[in-house]
Amino acid sequence: MNKTKRKIFETAMKLFAKKGYDATSVEDITATVGVAKGTLYYHFSSKEEIFNFLVEEGIKLLQNSVDIKTEKHDNYLDKIKAIILIEVKIIFKYEDLITILLSQLWGNEIINQTCKEQVFSYINKIETIVEEGMKKGEIKQGDPKAVAAEIYGLICSGLVYKLRKDDMTIMDVYKQFEDTIIKGLEV
């Protein structure tokens, strides 16, 4: 991604998180970036394309991180711990992205549907890991969909927790959630 496209992308992410998708105009983005509309349209065909790119790239980042970190573990509880740490790190590093994902998950517009599809693809990845751990007897039996949704829900609750207690470190937040979730999954 070239410098201008990255600047448009990062600015749009900040504006979508702060003002919301609907309240952010192409003019807001171009004025904040300091480029002409033509430059924005050279890189992205519409505001919706910027949003879709942002959501897809954000989910790809989560999924790739999960793949890399979980491959290193044989034990499924350790894989879940790795996912928890990844999610907490994402909360700290990409708070704007998480704000957008959570705010646009609800509704029936096309952008809401896109957001749901991307988030559900990530939750499905977690569900597969949970299911495999249950089959191997390393994770307590239960509904893998519910467990995967709970682990994804950590992002939401983690963001709220961070906002209420901003002096926490990544490892402080991780430890709080790891203890609670892992104890509930232990056989």
Give pLDDT tens digits for 45-90: 999 999 999 999 989 999 999 999 999 999 999 999 999 999 888 8
Residue 94 binned pLDDT confidence (cut-offs 50, 70, 90): confident
pLDDT reading at 37 higher than 80: yes
122 CB neighbour count, 10 Å cutoff:
21
User: CB neighbours of 168 closer than 8 A, spacing ≥ 6?
Assistant: 161, 162
CB 174 within 8 A of CB 84: yes
The CA distance from 151 to 108, in Å, is 24
The span from the CA of 173 to the CA of 164, in Å, is: 12
Mean pLDDT of the chain: 91
Sorting pLDDT into bands at 50, 70 and 90, what band is 161?
Answer: confident
Digit-coded pLDDT (tens) for 124-134? 999 999 999 99
Cβ-based burial of 67 (10 A; exposed 0-12, middle 13-18, buried ≥19) = exposed
Give the integer Cα–Cα distance in Å for 46 and 54: 13
What is the mean predicted confidence (pLDDT) over 140-164?
Answer: 86
Average pLDDT on 2-29 reads: 94
**What is the C-alpha to C-alpha distance for residues 161 and 159, in angstroms, rounded to an integer?**
5
Q: Where are the beta strands (DSSP E) in 14-124?
A: none
Asked if pLDDT for residue 135 goes beyond 80, the answer is yes
The CA-CA-CA angle for residues 98, 103, 108, to 5°, reads 130
Q: Which stretch of 5-9, 25-29, 175-179 has the lowest confidence by average pLDDT?
A: 175-179
- Give the chain's domains with CATH numbers: 1-45 (1.10.10.60), 48-185 (1.10.357.10)
3-state secondary structure of 35: coil
Residue 140 pLDDT > 80: yes
Count of C-beta atoms within a 10 Å radius of residue 94: 17
Q: What is the mean pLDDT of residues 145-163?
A: 84
Question: What is the DSSP code (8-state) at residue 15?
Answer: H
Whole-model pTM?
0.87
- Return the percentage of the chain with pLDDT > 70, whole number: 100
DSSP code at position 22: T
Give the model's pLDDT for residue 109.
92
Looking at per-residue pLDDT, the higher value among 55 and 163 belongs to 55
Give 96-108 pLDDT, tens digit per residue.
Answer: 988 898 889 899 9
| Alpha carbons 169 and 187: distance in angstroms, whole number | 29
